[in-house]
Structure 1
Amino acid sequence: MMKYVFVLCLLVVGAFGGWLGLNVVHWWQTDMFHTQRVMPGEAAYRMPPGSVPRNGGQLYYSPAERDAAAMRRNPVPATPQSVERGGELFAIYCTPCHGTSGKGDGPVSTKFVPPADLTNPELHKVRTDGYWESYLSVGGAVMPSYGEALTPEERWSVVNYVRTLAKK
C-alpha cells in the first residue's frame, strides 16, 4: 500500500510542477537550454561608457599573403638609432625565447620547442626582411604575434637588429 501512495505522490507533484510551469532540473540535464537569461537578446557584456575599442590587426596570413609580405622591402633604414631601438625591443619581447644573443637559448626555450637560431648566417640568406616583419606581425607555428604590441616602424627596427645578429 505504501508503494502505491509513494507513486501517487510522485505523479501529483510531477503533474502540478508541469501545470504551474516550473522548470524541474534533473542531474542529467546539462544542456542549459531552459536556464533563465539575464538580458534576453542582448550581449552579456557592454562596453563601459567613454571607452575606446582597439581595432584588431590581421591575426592570420594565408600562404599567399605570407609570400606577398615576404616580398616587402624594409622602409626603415638600418641606421645605428634604428638598430639600437630594435635591440631594446628585442630585449623586451624576444629574449625570453631567443635569448640575449639570439641563439634560441632563452629560458622559455628549455620548456617548449626551441626557436630559431637568429645568429645563423644561412638563415639570413634565405629569409627576407619582409618575411621577418610578417613573422613578427602575425606570429608563426610556435611564435606569438606581436602585431598589436609593436608599431610597424618598431617591427622593422627589430628586423634591422636581427640582421646584425648574424654578423656577430
Structure 2
Amino acid sequence: MSKPSRDRFDEVPRTTGRVGAHRAEEPGMNGWVVLLWSFVAALVLIIVGIFGALTVMGRIDLFPEAAPSAAPTPEQTGVIDTSYSVLILNASPDDGLDDQMRDTLINEGWPAASVLASDSESDDFATTTVYYVSAEDEEAATGLAGIIGGAQVQQSDYYAGQTEDGQKQLTVVIGVDRTAAAPETPAP
C-alpha cells in the first residue's frame, strides 16, 4: 500500500489548548444576572402560592356563576280615591301654590268641598309630601302623589285630628321643591 503524500498542513505544530471555534470565551453567567433571576423566580412562586391558597380557601372563585338578574320591583302607582278629603298646606315662600294644587285635584274628580287649601306656618319645607294616617290609606296617598307629580309619601298621625266625623283624609304639604326659584337639587 502506498503512503499518502505529505503537504504543508502535516507540519503544523501541535499545541495544547483549544483549536478553532473553541477558542471563544467560555460562556458564563454574571453573578448579578443569576441573583436577579433568582429574585424573579421567588416572586413568581410566592404570588402563585398566595393565589393558590386563596383559591383553596374559597376566597377567590375562579369561575363564578352568573348571578340571576333580579326582576325590577313594580313601582306602586296607587289608586285614585276621591272619597278622601285632602288638606293642602303651602309650606313654600310662593303664594298661590295651594290654590293651583286645589284646582288640579278638583279637575281630577275630587269634590270641591273635600279639598281644602291653606298656607302653612312654615315657608321652608324641603320636599312636597303626601301624609296619610293608617296603613290602609297608603294606596290612596300614592295615587294622590302620582296626580300631583311625584311627591313623597309618608305615614304620620300628626294630621289625624283634622277631619270631622272620622272622614278619611290625606294631607299634602307643598315644599320648596315646587317653587319657581327651586334649586336643581334641594338641600339636604
Asked if TM exceeds 0.5, the reply is no
Q: More strand per residue: 1 or 2?
A: 2
Output the TM-score relative to the length of structure 2.
0.27
Larger radius of gyration: 2
Q: More helix per residue: 1 or 2?
A: 1
Output the TM-score relative to the length of structure 1.
0.30
